[in-house]
Amino acid sequence: MARKIVITSGKGGVGKTTVAVNLGRCLAALGERTVIADTDFGLNNADVVCGAEERVLFGMTDVIEGRCRARQALLPLEDSANLFLLAAGKTYERPLSPQAVRLVLDSLAPRFDYILIDSPAGIEGGFHRACAAADEAIVVTTPHISSLRDADKVVAVLKSYRLKSVELVVNMVRGDMVADGEVLSPNEIAGLLKVPLLGVLPQEDGVFLGERRRSSEGQRAFRMLAANIAKGTRRLYNPTGRYRGFFGSIRRSLKKSL
């Protein structure tokens, strides 16, 4: 039976979809049968981030409104035989209820190990639909103050859902800024929000758009996150590693002068 994990944040643009898609890829690479379910019915874009937008025929709204079965709406992704996308769907005629979304995901759960639910920004109806279908939550934040404030609100709201766990991923971390004390470290952020730290992801251009350089720092950080989820390890990517010592201080100065 699949673990249903909602990826949420409150604030928009902090990397929910990026995390859902890249985490899905890493879980699938570990042999876990994984569905990435896009529940952002307004500004859905998981299909684009997966590079599959031209192949999407059906989505969740089509299942809910009876135009196809859940299995027909699952799009196999080229990355791995274990990875599928359930796109949001292009149109819907009636308001979508949280129960309807939950029913669709529950119908898929017996045949998968993970269903990653990509939530829309905000804490209104769309957020509720995404969270009501989940058993666990990952809150994504960046180190920026506005993102932290929204993450704090989301953590408080998530307490009213019966979730087995609520954990934190700090995304877009700049190791040079952490090393210089210009932003809070991921551990300090987790301490402030009082949520266990599950993953740390560096700010990294390009790699999240599907280039998938296996050797990149970002991909290494994602593999650690996937192992923490699937194998129960607790390894965290160290964003400051590259910025310590003699060569590290040169890298720091170079990054600052960019």
The residue within the footprint of Mg ion, chosen from 8, 9, 17, 228 (CB under 5 A), is 17
Q: How far is residue 125's CA from residue 127's CA, in Å, rounded to a whole number?
A: 5
Distance CA 235, CA 228 (A): 7
Q: Which of 173, 179, 143, 195 is nearest to 251 (CA)?
A: 179
Applying CB under 6 A, which residues contact ligand ATP? 9, 12-18, 40, 43, 121, 171-172, 201, 203-205, 208-209
Q: Binding partner of residue 46 among Mg ion, ligand ATP, none, CB under 5 to 8 Å per kind?
A: none
- Closer to Mg ion by CB, 2 or 117: give it: 117
- CB of 171 or CB of 219, closer to Mg ion: 171
Per CB under 5 A, does 16 bind Mg ion? yes
How far is it, in rounded angstroms, from Cα 104 to Cα 100? Answer: 6
39 binds, among ligand ATP, Mg ion, none (CB under 5 to 8 A by kind): none
Among 216, 196, 190, 20, CA closest to 118: 20
What's the min distance (Å) between Cβ of 40 and Mg ion? 5
Nearest residue (CB) to Mg ion, 60 versus 184: 60
- The beta strand positions in the chain, using DSSP E, are 3-8, 34-38, 74-76, 83-86, 114-118, 136-141, 165-173, 197-202
Strand ranges (E), 12-163: 34-38, 74-76, 83-86, 114-118, 136-141
Q: Which listed range, 17-25, 122-130, 193-201, 213-221, lies at the site for Mg ion (CB under 5 A)? A: 17-25
By C-beta, is 19 or 190 nearer to Mg ion? 19
Q: Which residues bind Mg ion (CB under 5 A)?
A: 16-17
